[in-house]
Each structure stands twice: as structure tokens, then as C-alpha cells.
Amino acid sequence: MFKRLLMLSINFTALVLTGCMDQEIQRTPQPIGGKTIGHVDDRPGGFQQNPGESYPNPEIFYQEFVPPEPSLSEWRCHTWRITWPMYDSDFDQELIPTIFSIGSGNLNSLNFINNQSPHVTFKTTMSLHINRKIYSSSDMMLFLDYEDFPFEWENEDTYFKMGNVSLNDLTEWVQERPLAFKYNWPAPEARGDTRMEYQEGDFIHFRMATPDHYGGIRIVSDSPRIIEVYLAIKDE
């Protein structure tokens, strides 16, 4: 499901985890030891709204972490740090990559997704950028075209709950105890929300319909928009 990357060292300088209190560190060059994913949407040179205009794609930095403790190593944590460029206020939001697919790590625009087959839509997970909200893809009827919408896809919702996780705890979860994302889901008897507003500094828990798929979303920065996504999964 995911391409596994062998980490050279657990002693990472910044994961995606550089500290909410230190904006200067957060906006320095990308962390060490992972993989930068280049082309993330349908136009490899960026988005062209009008002739002569070009808008760069977001940068995605991906890492995978396997706990060093053998008894915990059946769980691992995948991380993505997404940095969007500064878009003009009047830029067409349908051209901004916002739809994230956990299974592939792809980030696409509404325009791209709506010009593909419905099968592509049903493989997406969540929206990260539009309206400063996190949406489950299944709760985006106002934005996405659902031809031949399969009603059973309602069971594939992704649920969100606002959290309050310290950076030290988050670092430990990612680096050493990915299972903690499951154990610390804040509302075990509640389904959660399928959309949620956010602001800089927020941490949002999420869980997916797929068993043993739990994670978190950290809003690192609002301007430029930087969001980190963490997914803890159990090896199949």
C-alpha cells in the first residue's frame, strides 16, 4: 500500500516535528532523511490560470517511521509535510491542490479530481486546504462531482476530533509508539466530525473506516500554509 523507506537514523533533526513555538525553524528547509515528492497534481510545471501565469505546486515531504522496540514494530507511522505556495486571494480554489489520498500520498485539485473517473474520487481521503477546513472526502458533495455515487461509500467516512497533544508526545508517538494514535482517539464511543475548521497551531485527531487506521493533522503555519499529516497503521 505504501512504499517503505528505510530510515538511516531514528535521531531525526526535525521530522516534520519542528516545534509549534518556533516558527523560524518550521519554515527552514525540509527535514533530513525522508523523501520529497515532486509532481503532485495534473500540471507538472505548476498551475496556469491565464497565459503567461504560472503557480507552483505545493511541496510534499514524506517519511516513514518504524518503532525501534521490536514488540511495537508491527505498527508504523507515515508522515507527510505539505507546504503550499502563497496564492493570490482571487486565485481559483478549484486549481489549488487540496484533496489528499492516504493510500497513494497524492494531493490533487478539485479541477483534477472532477475531470477523472468517479473511481478516482472514491479513493481520496480528505481535503486539507479549502476554506481553512478539514473535510472527509465523502462530505464534499458541494465540491466534488459524484457520478454513479455508491451509497455504501458513506461507510468510508474519515472522522475528526480536535485534540491537545504536546509536541513532545507527538514526537514520541511518531517515532516510537504509533499505536498511541489509536489509544488516544479522544472519543472512542463517538464517531467524530466529517468536517472541522482549523487555525494555526491546531492538532486534529482522525480515524478512518479502514480498521487500525488512525492519525493526526497538525496545522503548522497559516501563511504560508503548512500542514502535517500522520498516519499510524498496523502491518497487514
d(CA 43, CA 200): 29
Burial tier of 47 (Cβ tally within 10 Å: 0-12, 13-18, 19+): buried
Q: How many CB atoms lie within 10 A of CB 5?
A: 15
Burial tier of 162 (Cβ tally within 10 Å: 0-12, 13-18, 19+): middle
pLDDT tens string, the chain, 236 residues long: the values are 443 332 322 333 344 444 332 222 233 333 333 454 443 444 444 566 555 556 678 999 999 999 888 887 889 999 999 999 988 877 888 889 999 999 889 999 998 888 888 778 888 999 999 999 999 998 998 898 765 555 555 557 899 999 999 999 999 999 999 999 999 998 766 678 999 999 999 999 999 988 889 999 999 999 999 999 999 998 76
Close Cβ partners of 24 (under 8 Å, ≥ 6 residues apart): none
Q: Any idea where the domains of the chain sit in the sequence?
A: 23-234
